[in-house]
Structure 1
Amino acid sequence: MKVASMPQVKTDFDTLKEVIVCSPRAMEIQEIINDTQEEYAGSNIDKKEAVKQHNNMIEVFAREQVKVHTLAVDEALPEQVYTRDLGVVIDNILVVGKMKQNIRKKETEVFKGWLKEHGIKYYEITKGALEGGDVVISKNNIYVGQSGRTEASAIEELAVLFPGRSVEKVPIEDKYLHLDCVFNPFSEEYALLYPDAMSEEWADTLRSRYKCIEVTEEEQFNLGVNIFSIGQKTVISQDKCKRINKELRNAGFTVYEVSFSEIIKSGGCFRCVTFPISRQ
C-alpha cells in the first residue's frame, strides 16, 4: 500500500488519513516494566483475543476510510503493538524516538527499516530517551511528558526542531507511563484528564485551556484516558468505559466502542497502538 509522500500531522485531532499499526500476535508480558503489567502478569495475554480486538479497531479505520499500514511482526519484540512510542509526526517532520526500556529498543530499528523501504525521511532523537506516548500535539502547543520514559534532554532536542511551536514540558509521575495516559486532548476544546498524575499548577493550566473530562483513579488505571481521535468529532474508546463514553457523547462526539481488554494488560490502549502518519 502506497504511503503518503509527505508525512503531515498538525494536531492529534485533525482528520486521520493514514496510520501505522502492528499486530499483537507476539504480545506477551515477558519482563514487567509497568504497574499494569504487574497486575496482569499472572494471567498474561490471550494473543488470539488480542489479535481479534486489534482487528476490530482496524475495521473502524476501514469504515472511516483510513489507510492502514502494518509493520511486520518480530516475534522477539513483545511490546511491538504499541507503535505510538516509535516517535511522532509533527507538521511535516517524522521524528524517530529513543526507547527507554531495553526490551523495546530494537523496535525503532525495525521502524527505521520500514521508513527507508518506503522512502520516508526522518529525524532521529539522539540526546536522550523520548517515546511518542509522551508527545501530545494540540493547536500551537506541543505538550511533552517528562516521565519515566522521556528525558528532559530529548524534550529540548525536540523543541529545537519546531521553533514556531510552543513546546511545553509536563512532568508526570513515573508510574503513569506516558502523558497520553493522563492527558489527552481530542479536539480543540475538549481533553480527558487525570489531574493526580501531575502538579496542581499543571492540572489547573490544562483546565484553563480545555473543557476537561476528568477521570477517576480506576478509569485511569484501565487506560480510559487513552482514547483515539479519528477527527471530525469521532473517537475510539473502550466499550467498558461507560461513564467516559457517556460524557463524550454528551459533548457531541461519535464514539466507536471497542473491547481492548487484552491489549490494555501491557499498559496501553488505542492511542498507544496507533502511529498517525497523515492527518488533514
Structure 2
Amino acid sequence: MIKLNVKNETSRLRSVVLGTAESNGPTPKVEECYDPKSIEHVLAGTYPTEADMVREMDAVAEVFKKYDVQVFRPEVIKDCNQIFTRDIAFVVEDKIIRANILPNREKEIEAIRYVWNQVTPENRIILPEECHVEGGDVIPWNDYIFMGTYSGEDYPQLITARTNIDAVIAIQELFPDKIVKSFELRKSNTNAKENALHLDCCFQPLGKGKAILHKNGFLIEREYDWLVNFFGKENIFEITKDEMYQMCSNVFSISEDVIISEQNFTRLNTWLRENGFTVEEVPYAEIGKQEGLLRCSTMPLVRG
C-alpha cells in the first residue's frame, strides 16, 4: 500500500507519478485540442513529435533517479496523450482525489488504476459529478489549499475553464481544518497569452518562502495582491506575459531547495540560483507547446 502524504509543494519528494509520452498518437486536429497553445502549434506545423517528448520526459525521470525518488508511470495506452498526470488526479494530505476531467480523458485514469488501487479505499475520493476540478488548479500549502477557479457565466463555453466553485466548496468540506482560498483566473479559448489554464500557470510557491507570480493571470487584482502580501514582495519572482506563455511558473520542487526547471528559463533559473536553490535544468520546451510543463506532468504521492 502507498501511504499518501502531500501537505505542500516543497517538502522532500519521495514518490511521484510521472506522465508518459509513449504512443502519444498523431498530431491532433484543431478541433481535438484542449487549449489555445496546442492549436497554435498544430496550425504552424510545429506540434511536438513523440520522440522529442519521450526524450524530454526521460530527462526528468533521470533527475528523479538521481534524488532517489520512486517513480510510477501510467500504463501506455495506444495513441493517447498521457503526459499531464496532474490533470487526472491529485493528492492532498493522505487522500487521492480523482479529477472530474474532460470526458474524453477518462481512459487516462484507467492507466494509473494500479496506483489508485494501492491507496486505502477510504482515502480514494471521487467528487460529485457537478464538481469540476483539475490538479493544476489545486496547490496545497500547509494550512492553506490554494485553488484556481472561474465563476463567469460563460464557464460552459470555455474549454479552458477547468475548475468550478462547486469543486472549491467540495474541497473545503473534505478538508475542514484547511483554509481553502480560491482565485479567479483569466480565461481565453483563443489567445494563449491571455489564458491561465490552471492556477499553476500563473502562480507557484517555492521553498525558502519564495513564489513565482504573473499578475495578468488573475482576474481580480485584490486576489493577486493577497498573494503578494502573503509571500512578501521581496520574495516574489514576477514573470512577464511571455514568460507565462512559456510556462515559467510551472517548475517542480523536489525539496525546499531543489527545483527542476526548463533549461531555457534563463532569467528565472538565474534568480533561483541567486536565492540559494539548486536548479536541475531539463529540456522541456516541446512539451511546453501543449500549455503544460513540469508541474503538470507530475503528480506527487508522498513528500516529507
Q: Could you say which TM-score interval applies, normalised by the shorter chain?
A: over 0.9
**2:273 aligns to what SS in structure 1?**
helix
1:108 maps to a residue whose letter is I
Distance 2:119 2:175 in 1: 23
Distance 1:65 1:133 in 2: 25
1:102 aligns with 2:103: yes
1:172 aligns with 2:189: no
Counterpart pick for 2:267 among 200, 222, 243: 243
Alignment-derived partner of residue 72 in structure 1: 75
Counterpart pick for 1:159 among 164, 172, 177: 172
Distance 1:82 1:191 in 2: 22
Q: Tell me if structure 1 keeps the 8 A contact 2:208–2:256.
A: no
**Structure 1 residue 50 displacement after superposition:** 0.7
Alignment-derived partner of residue 233 in structure 1: 257
1:19 maps to a residue whose letter is V
**Structure 1 residue 188 displacement after superposition:** 5.4
Distance 1:65 1:144 in 2: 30
Task: Describe the superposition over 1:232-269 as per-residue Cα deviations: whole angstroms up to 9, x where unpaired.
Answer: 31100100000011111111111011110211111110
**Structure 1 residue 88 displacement after superposition:** 1.6
Alignment-derived partner of residue 208 in structure 1: 229
Alignment-derived partner of residue 195 in structure 1: 215
**Structure 1 residue 119 displacement after superposition:** 4.8
Distance 2:115 2:61 in 1: 20
Aligned residues: 274
1:22 maps to a residue whose letter is G
**Structure 1 residue 229 displacement after superposition:** 0.4
| Map 1:21-100 → 2, pairs under 5 A | 21-27=18-24, 29-30=27-28, 31-41=32-42, 42-78=45-81, 80-99=82-101
1:201 maps to a residue whose letter is R
1:146 aligns with 2:149: yes
**1:243 aligns to what SS in structure 2?**
helix
**Structure 1 residue 103 displacement after superposition:** 3.0
Unaligned runs of 5+ in 2: 151-160, 188-194
Unaligned runs of 5+ in 1: none
Alignment-derived partner of residue 265 in structure 1: 289
Alignment-derived partner of residue 256 in structure 1: 280
Q: Tell me if structure 1 keeps the 8 A contact 2:133–2:164.
A: yes
1:229 maps to a residue whose letter is S
TM-score, structure 2 length as denominator? 0.86
1:24 maps to a residue whose letter is A
Q: Tell me if structure 2 keeps the 8 A contact 1:21–1:83.
A: yes
Q: Percent identity over the alignment?
A: 28
**Structure 1 residue 150 displacement after superposition:** 0.6
Distance 1:87 1:135 in 2: 10
Distance 1:125 1:111 in 2: 18
1:17 aligns with 2:14: yes
Task: Describe the superposition over 1:136-184 as per-residue Cα deviations: whole angstroms up to 9, x where unpaired.
Answer: 1112110010040111101111110100100111110122110001000
Q: Tell me if structure 1 keeps the 8 A contact 2:210–2:236.
A: yes
Q: Tell me if structure 2 keeps the 8 A contact 1:234–1:254.
A: yes
Alignment-derived partner of residue 5 in structure 1: 2
Alignment-derived partner of residue 183 in structure 1: 203
Q: Tell me if structure 2 keeps the 8 A contact 1:9–1:92.
A: yes
Distance 2:244 2:47 in 1: 20
Q: Tell me if structure 1 keeps the 8 A contact 2:186–2:216.
A: no
Q: CA RMSD in A?
A: 1.5
1:49 maps to a residue whose letter is D
**Structure 1 residue 109 displacement after superposition:** 3.7
Q: Tell me if structure 2 keeps the 8 A contact 1:128–1:151.
A: yes
**Structure 1 residue 212 displacement after superposition:** 1.2
Q: Structure 1 pair 208/237, CA: closer, same or farther in 2 (3 Å)?
A: same
**Structure 1 residue 87 displacement after superposition:** 2.0
